[in-house]
Amino acid sequence: MTTLYVDADACPVKAEAERVATRHRVAMKLVANGGLRPSQNPFVETVIVPDGPDVADMWIAERAGRGDVVVTSDMPLAAKCVEAGAQVLRHDGSELTARNIGQQLAMRDLMSDLRAADPFRQGSGRSFSKSDRSRFLNALETALRRAAKETP
């Protein structure tokens, strides 16, 4: 059975993911270190993991696999989930696959090195837009349909 896992810390599309999961009648797990209000939706489970680096990521990576969909912008988590056979989407709707995850990890490492070399570097990228939200909704719809075909 398909499960939608959402790396919920700082996720701007939780409400959108819940709407699509409910429409598809798919279990959704919002995973975070805390600070989430539990949903009354029977398809949504809020999973609060202990504090610590990457605990939420490890929880998702241990469970996600073929037939599941994961929403995250964390590249190491995305790489583990792609390797396990899950479909992975970023918050802007872009898909992370076996073909592009290596490049995304390399870009993440490069940006980390650049920030370390210049601690006064300002800016965190572009802001999240309405078109990102729309692209995410379309991508999640497609991913859940594809996941349903992969799941017996």
Return all residues near 20 (Cβ < 8 A) that are at least 6 apart: 137, 140, 141, 144
Half-sphere exposure of 4 (CA within 13 A, CB side): 33
The answer to whether the predicted template modeling score (pTM) of the entire model surpasses 0.75 is: yes
The residue ranges of every structural domain in the chain are: 3-119+130-150
Rounded Cα–Cα distance for residues 84 and 78 (Å): 10
pLDDT at 68: 97
Closest CA to 123 of 115, 132, 113: 115
Over the chain (152 residues), what is each successive 10-residue block's mean pLDDT? Answer: 93 95 97 90 96 92 96 92 95 89 67 67 70 94 93 66
Fold annotation for 3-119+130-150: Rossmann fold (3.40.50)
Q: Are 7 and 77 in contact (CB under 8 A)?
A: yes
pLDDT at 52: 86
